[in-house]
Amino acid sequence: MNIFSMHRGDDKHYEITVIDRKTRLPVDITGCTLKMTWRATFKGPIQLQKDFTLTDPVNGVAEVMIAHADTANWENAVQEYYFDVQITKTTAEVETLTKGKFVIEPEVTY
């Protein structure tokens, strides 16, 4: 399971490169959409959902920006969320690319 973390109220960029699981080569994701979703529990309400920007789609690269405003009003205590990143391909096929936990650390200066 992947574990990521950031401080509440920070700006954070995450980049993903979509790789073909068989050939291990980058996949052209032109025209695809990628989305990251966070929930406190697997079936709980969506806490945060962000779309990726395709920064180099021919080479499978996309980036998501979590802005300081996305987490600034959250409780200032350690919080853990489940997340996944899904791609919707041009064929309308949906695939989960990665999943794990996202830890929001409290901030000292706010």
CB 85 within 8 A of CB 34: yes
Whether 93 is covered by a domain: the verdict is yes
Whether 9 is covered by a domain: the verdict is yes
Is 109's pLDDT higher than 80?
Answer: no
Instruction: Provide φ and ψ at 65, rounded to 5°.
Output: -115, 120
Is 87's pLDDT higher than 70?
Answer: yes
CB 37 within 8 A of CB 99: no
Q: Which token pair is 48?
A: 């945060």
Report how many domains make up the chain.
Answer: 1
Residues 6+ apart with CB under 8 A from 40: 47, 79, 80, 81, 82
Domain of residue 21 covers 2-105
Whether 110 is covered by a domain: the verdict is no
CA 94 vs CA 7, 36, 78, 79: distances in Å: 30, 13, 32, 28
pLDDT per residue as tens digits for the range 57-79: 999 999 999 999 999 888 888 89
pTM above 0.85, yes or no: yes
CATH number for the domain including 78? 2.60.40.10
CB 88 within 8 A of CB 62: no
Helix, strand, or coil (residue 21): coil
pLDDT per residue as tens digits for the range 16-61: 999 999 999 999 999 999 999 999 998 899 999 999 999 999 999 9
Is 95's pLDDT higher than 90?
Answer: yes
